[in-house]
């Protein structure tokens, strides 16, 4: 999605007339449906004046095209400035420029990381050349039009306030500066010549429009790429905060020792790449000879990973790399060099089948390893026994005399890269207050259906492409089909709707099983995993009453282990019980409604909730999915996924 675009002539006029930042801001609001900070508006004004000084060279064609704030598909990342045209050989080319207003930076020993001043504090961040190069790699990876039509993207970075020193240009960063040349305050003429090298003729073929509306590759999912990653291939380019977390973890793991325990806590919401960073760390640290394991409480991700790796590595090798969080009760102190804990919010106090073994899973993991990293989202605790949250992990790590560092992952790669959707969802659920009072479905395919059968049909149509769309529901129906597979568990009689909970034959592999589109999953079979489209049936445990969201834990199935013991707790301490139950229910639907990379479709049993959700959505879509002929799926897949969202 491009925020501002026009010819070079249009751009220079807008800058000359001192309206460029107004036009960008207006387009920003129209395109992304939200406001931005005054500091970003100010940065547009300043940076565009510098870019105008570069662009007024008459040898840069007047009909070359310019785009500002291009949002990379399926992510929340935006590219600052793009110039399109043709080179001397008449090849279609786009120069991609990362703009920075930095005045100073400090050399950092981590790969591709620098330290600079932001908002009054010295912080670590990606080197501008790495950032520009990684953004181009993302576009190349997502956009089939760029590859199929041989559109060449050339990245660079321009720090127009930065005087030369041996910090930002240090040889330590040579690999990335070679890929994306770096231009400083005194390099305006050099940047001009660089642009003219690639843009010799104008853009008469709407290059930027074709990129912005181009075919998107089918979404790459971690489970499908796992085998290649374990062989050392770079399947996912880590950007910005992901790169910082990764390099920080590598550094901490290297210096960790029994006398110098290191603990890294990483906060990150849905789709911020927690699992991608975790698997990359597992591969890298193992390659360095460090005894490392990937740890998760959730059985479903481990089962899916094991299934995907069948025939690639032996079961014993898999078990040496991937482990349950309850497996460290009897571990020797500092037995491991690194333990990488994904979905750490799901850690329990006790372990074992009956929850009566060990002392504390967090403490046991920290004790067993010289370096431990915990990937956490406090708003994904969905079980009464979940204890993993940032403040508690930090407290326990300090009790073990660990050197603790906390970082955040914010770059969004799920929900079509829509930060707006996540902010809106958290706001309407009452999980946290945000400025997102309404949501425009241009950003992400969110729909509210009036009939559960229509919802099911829509998900089935989406699933025809790649078997990566599923139905899920809140745990408000008993799992009767566990003993008799002919029984329909999730039933809505007034619509003659019935589906069976995920069958035991697939176990934790439900989400990838060949025919599981015919079954309905729950929180326990999808947390930690992702789909292209998710259809969510919201049960009577989530309501809209008296003008606000409400929860009813008593509407949950008595078979739901995540609230086992809540009735006893209600009798003993009702205030605390309802507070815990409310958090579990809200977090559960937050998880379910963020499993879809491309879309989330919902049906609410509570009609008032349905009306409320619809009232908070700005939509130009019809709630109808046309049936797709299977014979045309392969032919039309890219068009459908790229343009019909």
Run of H or E including 459? helix 452-463
Of 409, 443, 475, the one marking the end of a domain is 409
Classify residue 217: in a domain, yes or no. Answer: no
Asked if residues 582 and 551 have their Cβ atoms less than 8 Å apart, the reply is yes
Condensed to tens digits (0 to 9), the pLDDT of residues 30-57 reads: 776 667 788 888 889 999 999 999 999 9
State which of 52-56, 116-120, 621-625 shows the largest mean pLDDT: 52-56
- 340, pLDDT greater than 60: yes
Q: Give residue 593's pLDDT.
A: 95
SS3 619: coil
| Nearest 10 degrees: Cα torsion 12, 14, 17, 23 | -160
Of 212, 239, 268, the one marking the end of a domain is 212
Question: Is residue 586 very low, low, confident or very high in pLDDT (cuts 50, 70, 90)?
Answer: very high
Mean pLDDT score, 201-220: 85
Same domain, yes or no: 242 and 117 = no
How many domains in the chain? 3
What length does the chain have? 645
Asked if residues 429 and 590 have their Cβ atoms less than 8 Å apart, the reply is yes
Helix and strand numbers (H, E) in the chain are 22, 26
Mean pLDDT score, 227-247: 88
Same domain, yes or no: 387 and 433 = no
Domain span including residue 372: 222-409
Closest residue by Cα to residue 86 from 97, 95, 99, 75: 95
Classify residue 254: in a domain, yes or no. Answer: yes
Q: Give residue 258's pLDDT.
A: 95
Condensed to tens digits (0 to 9), the pLDDT of residues 506-534 reads: 888 899 888 899 999 999 889 888 899 99
Classify residue 596: in a domain, yes or no. Answer: yes
Percent of the chain residues topping a pLDDT of 70: 93
Between CA 571 and CA 585 the distance in angstroms is 19
Between CA 377 and CA 373 the distance in angstroms is 13
Q: What is the mean pLDDT of the chain?
A: 89
Q: Give residue 631's pLDDT.
A: 39
Least confident interval from 23-37, 263-277, 561-575: 23-37
Same domain, yes or no: 548 and 435 = yes
HSE (side-chain half, CA atoms, 13 Å) at 32: 27
Question: Is residue 642 very low, low, confident or very high in pLDDT (cuts 50, 70, 90)?
Answer: very low
* Structure-model confidence comparison of residues 423 and 250, the more confident one: 250
The per-residue DSSP string of 268-336 comes to E-TTSSHHHHHHHHHHHHHHTT--EEEEES-HHHHHHHHHHTTTTS-HHHHHHHEEETTTTTTPPTT-E
Structure letter (DSSP) for residue 477: S
Q: Give residue 644's pLDDT.
A: 28
* R_g (Cα) of the chain, nearest Å: 26
| Nearest 10 degrees: Cα torsion 240, 245, 250, 254 | 130
SS3 533: strand
Mean pLDDT score, 288-293: 95
Least confident interval from 186-195, 402-411, 618-627: 618-627
Same domain, yes or no: 329 and 455 = no
Between CA 386 and CA 54 the distance in angstroms is 56
SS3 488: coil
Per-residue 3-state assignment (H helix, E strand, C coil) for 536-570: EEECCCEEEECCEEEECHHHCCCCCHHHCCHHHHH
Closest residue by Cα to residue 94 from 187, 214, 184: 214
Between CA 99 and CA 266 the distance in angstroms is 28
Least confident interval from 269-273, 278-282, 501-505, 631-635: 631-635
Strand order in the sheet with 113-118: 105-107, 113-118, 121-126
Question: Is residue 629 very low, low, confident or very high in pLDDT (cuts 50, 70, 90)?
Answer: very low
HSE (side-chain half, CA atoms, 13 Å) at 110: 22
Question: Is residue 218 very low, low, confident or very high in pLDDT (cuts 50, 70, 90)?
Answer: low
Classify residue 146: in a domain, yes or no. Answer: yes
Run of H or E including 210? helix 207-212
Mean pLDDT score, 587-596: 94
Same domain, yes or no: 495 and 587 = yes
Same domain, yes or no: 508 and 562 = yes
Classify residue 258: in a domain, yes or no. Answer: yes
* Structure-model confidence comparison of residues 115 and 619, the more confident one: 115
Asked if residues 577 and 569 have their Cβ atoms less than 8 Å apart, the reply is yes
Angle between helix 274-287 and helix 222-230 axes, rounded to 10 deg: 10
Same domain, yes or no: 116 and 250 = no
Same domain, yes or no: 468 and 602 = yes
Closest residue by Cα to residue 537 from 452, 595, 435: 452
Asked if residues 73 and 216 have their Cβ atoms less than 8 Å apart, the reply is yes
Classify residue 368: in a domain, yes or no. Answer: yes
CA 548 → CA 245, 424, 594, 608, distances in Å? 38, 15, 21, 10
Same domain, yes or no: 161 and 270 = no
Least confident interval from 415-429, 442-456, 530-544: 415-429
Strand-pairing partners, residue 113, are 126
Between CA 150 and CA 153 the distance in angstroms is 9
Asked if residues 591 and 523 have their Cβ atoms less than 8 Å apart, the reply is yes
* Structure-model confidence comparison of residues 607 and 435, the more confident one: 607
Helix, strand, coil shares, percent, the chain, to 5: 40, 25, 35
Same domain, yes or no: 20 and 119 = yes
Same domain, yes or no: 48 and 85 = yes
CATH code, domain with 471: 3.40.50
Q: Give residue 534's pLDDT.
A: 96
Condensed to tens digits (0 to 9), the pLDDT of residues 124-171 reads: 999 999 999 999 998 998 888 998 999 999 999 999 999 999 999 999
- Burial (CB count <10 Å: 0-12, 13-18, 19+), residue 307: middle
- 358, pLDDT greater than 90: no
First vs last Cα of the chain: how many Å apart? 13
Q: Give residue 601's pLDDT.
A: 97
CATH code, domain with 291: 3.40.50.300
* Structure-model confidence comparison of residues 260 and 354, the more confident one: 260
CB atoms within 10 A of CB 18: 10
Sign of the alpha-carbon dihedral angle for 307, 309, 312, 318: negative
Between CA 191 and CA 201 the distance in angstroms is 17
Classify residue 352: in a domain, yes or no. Answer: yes
- The whole-angstrom distance between residue 98's C-alpha and the CA centroid of its chain comes to 22
- Burial (CB count <10 Å: 0-12, 13-18, 19+), residue 405: middle
Mode of pairing for the β-strands spanning 439-440 and 617-618: parallel
Classify residue 289: in a domain, yes or no. Answer: yes
**Cβ-count burial 270-282 (b if 16+ within 10 Å, e if not):** bbbbbbbbbbbbb
- 474, pLDDT greater than 90: yes
Mean pLDDT score, 375-398: 93
Between CA 181 and CA 199 the distance in angstroms is 16
Question: Is residue 636 very low, low, confident or very high in pLDDT (cuts 50, 70, 90)?
Answer: very low
Of 163, 191, 212, the one marking the end of a domain is 212
Same domain, yes or no: 75 and 195 = yes
């Amino acid at each position: 999605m491009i925020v501002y675009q026009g010819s070079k002539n249009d751009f220079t006029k807008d800058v000359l007339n001192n309206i460029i930042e107004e036009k960008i801001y207006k387009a920003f609001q129209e395109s992304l449906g939200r406001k931005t900070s005054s500091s970003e508006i100010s940065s547009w004004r300043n940076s565009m004046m510098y870019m105008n000084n570069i662009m007024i060279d008459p040898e840069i064609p007047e009909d070359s095209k310019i785009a500002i704030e291009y949002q990379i598909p399926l992510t929340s990342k935006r590219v600052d400035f793009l110039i399109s045209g043709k080179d001397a050989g008449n090849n279609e080319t786009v120069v991609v420029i990362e703009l920075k207003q930095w005045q100073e930076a400090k050399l950092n020993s981590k790969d591709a990381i620098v330290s600079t001043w932001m908002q009054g504090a010295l912080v670590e961040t990606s080197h501008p050349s790495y950032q520009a190069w990684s953004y181009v790699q993302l576009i190349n990876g997502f956009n089939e039009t760029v590859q199929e039509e041989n559109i060449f993207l050339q990245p660079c970075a321009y720090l127009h306030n930065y005087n030369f020193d041996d910090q930002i240009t240090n040889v330590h960063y040579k690999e990335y500066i070679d890929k994306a040349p770096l231009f400083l305050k005194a390099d305006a003429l050099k940047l001009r010549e660089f642009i003219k090298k690639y843009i010799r003729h104008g853009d008469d073929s709407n290059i930027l429009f074709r990129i912005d509306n181009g075919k998107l590759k089918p979404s790459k999912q971690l489970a499908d790429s796992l085998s290649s990653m374990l062989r050392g291939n770079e399947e996912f380019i880590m950007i910005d905060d992901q790169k910082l977390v990764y390099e920080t973890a590598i550094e901490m793991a290297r210096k960790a020792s029994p006398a110098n325990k290191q603990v890294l806590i990483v906060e990150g919401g849905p789709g911020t790449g927690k699992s991608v960073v975790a698997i990359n760390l597992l591969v890298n640290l193992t390659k360095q000879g460090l005894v490392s394991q990937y740890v998760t409480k959730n059985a479903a991700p481990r089962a899916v990973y094991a299934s995907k790796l069948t025939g690639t590595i032996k079961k014993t090798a898999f078990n040496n790399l991937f482990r349950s969080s309850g497996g460290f009760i009897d571990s020797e102190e500092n037995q491991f060099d690194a333990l990488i804990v994904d979905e750490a919010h799901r850690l329990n106090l006790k372990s074992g089948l009956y929850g009566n073994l060990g002392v504390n899973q967090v403490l046991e993991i920290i004790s067993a390893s010289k370096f431990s990293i915990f990937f956490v989202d406090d708003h994904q605790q969905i079980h009464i026994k979940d204890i993993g949250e940032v403040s508690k992990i930090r407290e326990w790590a300090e009790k073990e005399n660990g050197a603790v560092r906390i970082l955040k992952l914010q770059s969004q790669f799920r929900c079509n890269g829509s930060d707006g959707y996540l902010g809106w969802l958290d706001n309407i659920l009452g999980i946290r207050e945000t400025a997102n009072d309404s949501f425009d479905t241009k950003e992400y395919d969110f729909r509210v259906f009036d009939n559960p059968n229509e919802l099911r049909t829509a998900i089935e149509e989406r699933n025809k492409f790649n078997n990566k769309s599923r139905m899920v529901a809140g745990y408000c129906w008993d799992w009767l089909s566990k003993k008799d597979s002919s029984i329909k568990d999730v039933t809505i009689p007034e619509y003659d709707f019935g589906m069976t909970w995920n069958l035991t034959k697939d176990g934790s592999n439900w989400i990838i099983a060949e025919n599981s589109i015919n079954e309905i999953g729950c929180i326990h079979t999808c947390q930690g995993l992702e789909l292209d489209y998710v259809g969510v049936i919201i049960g009577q445990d989530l309501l809209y009453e008296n003008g606000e969201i409400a929860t009813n834990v008593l509407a949950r199935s008595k078979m739901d282990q995540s609230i086992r013991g809540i009735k006893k707790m209600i009798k003993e301490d009702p205030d605390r019980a309802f507070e815990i139950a409310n958090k579990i229910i809200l977090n559960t639907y937050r998880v379910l409604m963020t499993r879809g990379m491309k879309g989330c479709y919902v049906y609410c049993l509570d009609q008032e909730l349905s009306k409320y959700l619809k009232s908070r959505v700005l939509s130009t879509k019809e709630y109808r999915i046309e049936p797709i002929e299977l014979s045309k799926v392969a032919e039309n897949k890219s068009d459908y996924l790229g343009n019909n969202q």
